[in-house]
């Protein structure tokens, strides 16, 4: 939820003239069957995250928001939750946007998950 709220805060403001781009937040979920990883990417069309602060983004109380607009705890708490599940949380800059990625290990290999969904499992 924190990644979505941060993306919302980062998107471009369309302004009153209607000529500026609309803000866009995207969520993409994919899986890599070779590594048994699930990848969740929350991206926006904001200005991106300056490279010089990438390393500090996950520090408690570090914020890029104006005073009174953020505590700097959201990403550090999210990082703690994600790493507690054996996963990774990191940021990637793309052309004219930032993307926060979570890579989670699958609980069961893809073949096992498909069998349990169809009822094809041993009792």
pTM to 2 decimal places: 0.73
Q: Tokens representing 92?
A: 């990637």
The pair phi, psi for residue 5, each rounded to 5°, is -65, -40
CATH ID of 2-7+24-106, from 3.30.365.10, 3.30.565.10, 3.10.100.10, 3.40.50.1970: 3.30.565.10
pLDDT of residue 83: 94
Tokens of 11: 């998107």
Classify residue 73 by its DSSP letter.
-
**Strand (E) or helix (H) holding 76:** helix 74-84
Q: Which residues of 72-105 are buried (b: 16+ CB within 10 A; e: fewer)?
A: eebbbebbeebeeeebebebeeeeebbbbbbbbe
Q: Is 60:76 a contact under the CB 8 Å cutoff?
A: yes
Residue 38 has φ and ψ, to the nearest 5°, of -105, 135
Question: What percentage of the chain carries pLDDT values higher than 90?
Answer: 30
Residues 62-118 pLDDT 10s: 888 878 787 888 899 999 999 999 999 998 877 667 899 999 998 875 566 555 555
């Amino acid at each position: 939820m924190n990644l979505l709220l941060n993306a919302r805060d980062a998107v471009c403001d369309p302004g009153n003239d209607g000529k500026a781009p609309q803000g866009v937040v995207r969520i993409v979920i994919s899986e890599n069957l070779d590594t048994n990883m699930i990848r969740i990417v929350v991206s926006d069309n904001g200005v991106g995250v300056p490279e010089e602060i990438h390393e500090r983004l996950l520090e408690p109380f570090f914020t890029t928001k104006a005073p009174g607009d953020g505590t700097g705890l959201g990403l550090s708490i999210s990082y703690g939750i994600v790493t507690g599940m054996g996963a990774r949380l990191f940021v990637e800059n793309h052309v004219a946007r930032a993307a926060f990625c979570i890579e989670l290990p699958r609980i069961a290999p893809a073949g096992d998950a498909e069998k349990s969904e169809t009822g094809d499992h041993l009792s």
